[in-house]
Structure 1
Amino acid sequence: MNKLAYDDGSTWFYRLRETTAFWMFLILLGLVALFSLISPHHAFLSVNNFFNIALNASQLVLLAVGMTFLLGAKEFDLSVGSNIVLASILAAKTITALAGTPDEVAVGDYPHLGLAVAVGVVVALGSGALFGLVNGLLVTTLRLSSFLVTLATTAIGLGMALVLTHGANVPDIPRALQTDFATYRLFDLVPLPVLLSLALVMLLWFVLAQTRFGVHTLALGSSVDAARRAGINHKLHLLKLFALMGVLCGVAALLDISRFATTNIGGHQTDNLQAVAAAVIGGTSLFGGMASVQGTLVGSLIPVVLGTGLVIMGLDSFYQLILVGLIVIAAVYIDQRNRQTRF
């Protein structure tokens, strides 16, 4: 009996060691330990700093989890940055238009703020979902590569955003979005955006790991032909996956405008690469059929921890890009080695 338990434990630990997420988690712990030891006055090792790290990662983790589902089905979405920009602009324009008259809004008076925010949330989520559905329709109907389709819709989405704004950020976004949500901390500790992101991540982890939807997603990534023979409507499922990615872009857009009280037309250009990197670092395979939401959470924290630690150390945070690139190469190497071992 004891021998059986030992063997089971050994098998479990061996399988854990073979996952990319395990090694990336060790890297994350190593980075936290390193910066905690060498930062001036151990400034990195503080509860407030850890919550700031979580806040900075709250947008990226949503995009990375959405990308995890798509990569699990062997698809891409490189248009997430443009989707966020467009959704944030539409939401911001909706909020400022409904919150009061132009004169009232210009002086910071928002008599209809509640209604404006509620409709703005619907617009952001709806815009993001529609953008994602368009991507999915182009992929499934025209039978085009999702890589090429979303590369094209990146330009289309950004162009639409620039046409709507004439290249200028939307002004007069209510500061209450910052004070009452983005910077508000539950029990003076946990930022509300972190709680929202964490709740969505936990829900999507359950969907991927415990539901038929998750099984169908990984089945498509393993073999589309086999999934079809099993009765899976692959076109409809892909539409759902791209729509899910779009909805998460809408949530990220809302977090963006609430945190900074402005739109960011010139930003989000590297969000697609960051999302893919976070998913791959966390153990999601670029070749489909394997995905890990919990690993993606780890993969989303690594670049943020790096950036925060470098800033505290007084170094240029741009070194983060180099280090993350090296970690992605290591993660892809581990993934390929593991696939060769299994097959």
Structure 2
Amino acid sequence: MNLTKTSPHTSAATFSSSEPPLAKRIVTSTAFMIAVVVLILILIFGLLSPNGVFLGPTNFRNLALDSAQLILLAVGMTFLLGAGELDLSIGANVILSSVVAAKVITFMGGTPEEVLAGNYSNAGVAILLGLLAAMVTGTLFGIVNATLVNMLRVNSFIVTLAMMSVGSGVAYIITGGVNVSALPRELQRNFGSADLFGVVPIPALIAVLIGAIAWFVMTRLRFGTHTVGMGSSIRAAQRAGINVKLQRMKLFGIMGLIAGLVGFIDISRFLTTNIQGHQGDALAAIAAVVIGGTSLFGGRASVLGSMIAAIIPAILINGLVIMRVGSFYQLVVTGVILLIAVGIDQRRRAAPS
């Protein structure tokens, strides 16, 4: 910045004129650059896919559904990484929450015979109770994470790594290692695969709405300021009067709540649990968040960037499937994206401010 002497009577307009124009700030923002990358990927797969099927409305709907869950997880992870925390157990939380929700739905839905046949006499009540069970389970899981971090005074990386095994193990114990299936078709028809006005998938709309709320909280409310302050310097945050332990509890609770919602969306789409899936959810969310402009080491967070970047894995995996590349390449894609994210973050940290 070019510093020059100014008169005490210099108007505020003189200082405001030194700020970059709004259009320039938008164009140079990480979110805008990630959006450009998303558009380029869409065009590439559109050209390479047979008969341009990738650019069809049906495929865009599938992309919206596939990316909705990761967008939600990325939003929650943005707050944690912004605060200098980490949650590697969100995949296990999603599994456990979905299992609890499915068990509640099958228990409350009707007689064992009705449930086995998929004809639920109390489908509406059962689904609502299942949603509540998933969100409560996820929130409690997150609160346990935060409590352990606060009590043991160890890095959240270690705690959530251990809780990843605990959560998966509890899910296996509850189910006996067998997926809960034969869930009510109304769950899928009216929510999991339903479209608002026949255009926008409801899960994708929920992801966007929650992301918008999260953006407002992060950029406009004190909660967001405290979150980023913790990531910048936890000692400085404590000296500023921030209750770090309580804030950590809230952050992990929010992450858990979102994971519970994702678990419910998952069973609503496929009408079965997936106790062997979601192993790469945490890494995918972390990669999206870091690529989107949030620092891996805290102190900087971009909800909008995370949401846009969360679309990238869905595009890559969807495009590879359309091009008949094996689905097992998903793990390779996730790993490569994570490495790219770490490299981008290191370059950001090394760049002069």
Shorter chain as denominator, the TM-score bin is over 0.9
> Pairwise CA RMSD of aligned residues?
2.2
Q: Which residue of 174, 177, 183 corresponds with 2:184?
A: 174
Equivalent pair of 1:20/1:331 in contact (CA under 8 Å): no
- Give the AA of the match of 1:37: L
| Structure 1 counterpart of 2:7 | none
- Give the AA of the match of 1:210: R
Residue 54 of structure 2 aligns to a residue whose secondary structure is coil
| Structure 2 counterpart of 1:29 | 39
| Structure 2 counterpart of 1:105 | 115
Instruction: Give the superposition deviation at 1:8.
Output: 4.4
TM-score in terms of structure 2 length: 0.90
Equivalent pair of 1:278/1:299 in contact (CA under 8 Å): yes
Residues 89 and 334 from structure 1, CA distance in 2 versus in 1: closer, same or farther, beyond 3 angstroms? closer
| Structure 2 counterpart of 1:133 | 143
- Give the AA of the match of 1:290: R
Q: How many residues align?
A: 341
* Higher deviation after alignment, 21-30 or 157-166: 21-30
Instruction: Among all aligned residue pairs of Structure 1 and Structure 2, give the percentage whose two residues are the same amino acid.
Output: 49
Equivalent pair of 1:204/1:293 in contact (CA under 8 Å): yes
| Structure 2 counterpart of 1:306 | 316
Instruction: Give the superposition deviation at 1:342.
Output: 3.3
Q: Which residue of 24, 29, 33 corresponds with 1:13?
A: 24
Rounded to whole Å, the distance in 2 between the matches of 1:200 and 1:15 is 22
| Structure 1 counterpart of 2:345 | 335
* Higher deviation after alignment, 262-271 or 324-333: 324-333
| Structure 2 counterpart of 1:198 | 208
Equivalent pair of 1:21/1:281 in contact (CA under 8 Å): no
Residue 172 of structure 1 aligns to a residue whose secondary structure is coil
| Structure 2 counterpart of 1:162 | 172
The C-alpha deviation readout for 1:277-320, integer Å capped at 9, x for no partner, is 11111111101011111111121101111111222223334445
Gaps of 5+ in 1: none
The C-alpha deviation readout for 1:154-186, integer Å capped at 9, x for no partner, is 111111111111101113311111111111122
Residue 169 of structure 1 aligns to a residue whose secondary structure is coil
Residues 4 and 12 from structure 1, CA distance in 2 versus in 1: closer, same or farther, beyond 3 angstroms? farther
Aligned pairs for 1:321-332 (under 5 A) are: 321-332=331-342
- Give the AA of the match of 1:196: I
| Structure 2 counterpart of 1:188 | 198
Rounded to whole Å, the distance in 2 between the matches of 1:136 and 1:149 is 9
Rounded to whole Å, the distance in 2 between the matches of 1:54 and 1:69 is 23
- Give the AA of the match of 2:162: A
| Structure 1 counterpart of 2:288 | 278
Gaps of 5+ in 2: 1-13
Residue 44 of structure 1 aligns to a residue whose secondary structure is helix
Equivalent pair of 2:283/2:334 in contact (CA under 8 Å): no
Residue 264 of structure 1 aligns to a residue whose secondary structure is coil
Rounded to whole Å, the distance in 2 between the matches of 1:13 and 1:323 is 32
Rounded to whole Å, the distance in 2 between the matches of 1:288 and 1:250 is 24
Instruction: Give the superposition deviation at 1:6.
Output: 8.5
Rounded to whole Å, the distance in 1 between the matches of 2:40 and 2:273 is 35
TM-score in terms of structure 1 length: 0.93
Instruction: Give the superposition deviation at 1:12.
Output: 6.3
Rounded to whole Å, the distance in 2 between the matches of 1:255 and 1:312 is 24
The answer to whether the aligner puts 1:247 opposite 2:253 as a matched pair is no
